[in-house]
Amino acid sequence: MRESWQERFAETPDVLLDARRQRTIVPVLGFAVGGDEFVTMAGPCSVETESQIMATAKHVRRMGARVLRGGAFKPRSSPYAFQGLGLEGLKLLAAAREQTGLAIVTEVMSECDVPLVAEYADILQIGSRSMENYTLLEAAARSGRPILLKRGMMATIADFLRSAQVILDNGNPNLILCERGIRTFETAMRNTFDAAGIALLKQIAHLPVIADPSHAAGHHDLVPALARIGIAAGADGLLVEVHPNPDKAWSDGEQSLDFAEFDAMMAALEPWIALRGMTLHEEMLGQRELAGLRTLEAVG
């Protein structure tokens, strides 16, 4: 007998989609992630200067982004790399929100920093290196802010769902999952983009799923193609790195799009996003028809 997904992931029951549980739609500043609207989150890897973050925020907003991403606290592989501006970076993000109306997503790295980051951010990001830091997950969940949970660099889908379960267990239903690529034997790209993981999560979990093609690719010229793949796999949105001058970025310039590249990508994605909308409509009609059949069976 074939094993069901519910049986395979039985230890994370609150994450799984079933007949009793509707898909989660996460409200953020007047819009929602996981509903009909495809949500783009865009901005630099790190908040560097006021002019850099303001220019980026205004540009991505004009091109349809709903959320400004930017790191105030940066977990880096090297202790000598730029670690972020900290509180000053949070203040610059808040000022950008004030000027553009964009929501803010930024990473929190320590449970001690959760109250501070939650004061400025609209969405708290849990980075890949922190995915299994359950103390941090618990503190972030209790902040009441929506959570963006990135898949760990070497995490299986089961590992990913366990971390999601921790957040839900701590009373926070507003959780967004993010596929950002995993580490494999392949070294041509920064990570291996798991499009099948997005398709699986959309099939078995009720939570929104967004794709991060920037960290998956590690190279700016591959980002648009991986973004298309993410949408085709069923992603509810994108998390993309954009910088006014990637060659002078303080971190992750190689994978960041400049403004012209971001514009071209967003224009090219329009038919893919429209196709996603048609697919969602068909899925909703199918669910209504199935519910009607079940009602008729119960009556009969």
Q: What is the pLDDT of residues 32-89, one digit of tens each?
A: 999 999 999 999 999 999 999 999 999 999 999 999 999 998 665 566 555 678 999 9
User: Cα(153)–Cα(50) distance, rounded to whole angstroms?
Assistant: 31
- The total number of structural domains in the chain stands at 1
What φ, ψ does residue 153 adopt, rounded to 5°?
-60, -30
**DSSP letter at 4?**
P
Q: Are strands 67-69 and 103-107 parallel, antiparallel or unpaired?
A: parallel
204: number of Cβ within 10 Å? 19
User: Cα(246)–Cα(189) distance, rounded to whole angstroms?
Assistant: 18
Q: Which of 189, 187, 193 is nearest to 210 (CA)?
A: 193
What φ, ψ does residue 9 adopt, rounded to 5°?
-110, 40
Which helix (DSSP H) or strand (DSSP E) does residue 69 occupy? strand 67-69
Give residue 39's domain range. Answer: 5-299
Half-sphere exposure of residue 180, counting CA atoms within 13 Å on the CB side?
A: 25
pLDDT computed for residue 6 by the predictor:
87
Angle, CA 181 vertex, CA 256 and CA 115 arms, to 5°: 75
pLDDT computed for residue 85 by the predictor:
86
Side chain identity at 61, as an amino acid letter?
A: R
pLDDT computed for residue 293 by the predictor:
44
49: number of Cβ within 10 Å? 12
pLDDT computed for residue 5 by the predictor:
86
Burial of residue 211 (number of CB atoms within 10 Å: 0-12, 13-18, 19+): buried
Residue whose entry in the numeric block shows the structure tokens 């041509």: 188
pLDDT computed for residue 285 by the predictor:
58
Nearest-Å Rg of the Cα atoms of the chain is 19
**What parts of the chain have a pLDDT lower than 70?**
1, 74-83, 281-300
pLDDT by residue (tens digit) across 121-135? 999 999 999 999 999
Beta bridge pairs of residue 240: 42
CATH number for the domain spanning 295: value is 3.20.20.70
User: Cα(173)–Cα(21) distance, rounded to whole angstroms?
Assistant: 12
pLDDT computed for residue 278 by the predictor:
76
